[in-house]
A and B are shown apart, each in its own frame.
Chain A
Amino acid sequence: MCATLLGACGGTVEVRQAFPPPLVARLPLRVAVHYPPSLTAYVHREKGAAQQGWSVSVGTANVRMFDAVFTALFSEVIRIGSLDDARTLVPAPDAIIQPALAAYELSPPALSATEQFAVWLRFDIDVLATDGARLFSWPVTGYGQAGTGGMSDEQAVERATVLALRDAAATIAVEFANQFQVRRVLLDETARDAQ
């Protein structure tokens, strides 16, 4: 109601929902995963004439989402505190993955002229060799929308954010193995190592 009449009154949201593990074929890859602080502590803040005081904490939800996807997608996942930690792993991982949340946009009903809050986000997922060289960077977008009917503005923003994260998670789970560099570099190398 507030969002509809006044163009969003704002609020504080912490995304708490869990993410289901994807039902996909596991890739024979041992990966090290580094979550930078910019991902784990990400808070979207927005203040302006039309949107006042929205604060959306997405950091822990990012981690839960990526943990759910990577654990289902790879045969072994090792979480590391820094990129340098990957060099000490024995045996060396097949790759290092470092996701970053590059953009988060929130559109309240008054701006989108709908009855829905909409969230759009973009992750940049860097896939690195164990020496730190970048194999490729993969932009993954997510979109979610949720109506205000029957829920508060904060609940609608959380729901839209969760749907956007699930959208991104679905893309990663389904499309990671189809990335050219994954097929040609990571999976082929793994096959050679196994021989």
Chain B
Amino acid sequence: MRSDRARPAKAWRAALVAGGAGLLLAGCMTSRLDESKNTATGIAAGESIVILARSYHKGKAVEEDLVSCINEEVQSGAQRVRVTPQQDFIDALFPWFEPRIAPQSAEALPELLARPGVAKRIEAHGVRYIVWIDGRTEKTGGGGSLSCAIGPGGGGCLGFTWWEDDASYDAAVWDLQRRSDAGSVSADVHGTSMIPALIIPLPLIARTQSAACKDMAGQISRFIRDPGGGS
């Protein structure tokens, strides 16, 4: 069977360990960003991307607010990329991007684009790339104890509690013009939140999902705009 999947002639993998640990009322966070590019990219005026969540039929669903966040972030900043609203795209191509039926790999693109009306409808929306988001933010640990009390003379808290979150996401980028897998980017953000309390609790919250959203959006924009590579 013929495969149109592009071979990574110049595959490269950049690993960035952003030791961006911040402890300014924001807990501790570390980020790891990866990119793998199979083919040259680029986007012309009038072309757009669509950002979709991987099917929940395959397992755990990607958080809808994370996908919305990436949609918004990709359209902002110096490297912004035009984004076609995901629901508009899914409705226009119904039923081909419904969770049960959506293509599972870029190798299915030629067959999909050969279906009556599909290529024409995608062209009408100006969509050049499909970006599939997969992953979750999950609590991975925690401990400590904190108790609060209130009485006639006032109230207060005493103790220390903490928890860890891992936000792990990846985005597969399919080039509809080349009908191939252009590559992928990923972001892993580990955050530790804590609440020390000596009468007054002082929450130090690590916003791991928000950080992963910004990291992913930046990676996706650079991946698409930079013909030879991302960050």
Interface residues of A (CB under 8 A from B): 19-25, 116, 143, 145-147, 149-150, 163, 166-167, 169-171, 173-174
Contact = CB atoms under 8 A, between A and B. Distances in A.
Nearest to A18: B91
Interface in B41-97: 56-57, 61, 63-65, 91-96
Contacts of A166: 94-95, 98
Contacts of A116: 61
Contacts of B139: none
What does DSSP make chain B's interface, helix, strand, loop or mixed?
A: loop
Contacts of B64: 146-147, 149-150
A170 B63 CA distance: 23
Contacts of A22: 94-95
15 contacts: A23-B115, A24-B95, A25-B116, A145-B56, A147-B63, A149-B63, A150-B64, A166-B95, A166-B98, A167-B98, A167-B99, A170-B98, A170-B100, A170-B101, A171-B101
A23 to B, nearest CB: 5
Contacts of B61: 116, 145, 147
In order of increasing CB-CB distance, the 3 nearest A-B pairs are A170-B95, A170-B98, A20-B94
Interface residues of B, number: 21
Contacts, number: 54
Given A150-B64, A169-B94, 8 more contacts: A21-B94, A22-B94, A149-B63, A163-B99, A166-B95, A170-B94, A170-B101, A174-B95
A60 B75 CA distance: 37
Nearest to A145: B56
A143 B98 CA distance: 11
Given A150-B65, A166-B98, A24 B92 contact: no
Given A145-B56, A173-B95, A23 B101 contact: no
B117 interface: yes
A145 to B, nearest CB: 6
Contacts of B146: none
Contacts of B96: 23
A149 B65 contact: yes
A162 to B, nearest CB: 11
B40 interface: no
Interface in B180-197: none
Q: Which interface residue of A23, A146, A174 has the most chain B CB atoms within 10 A? A: A23
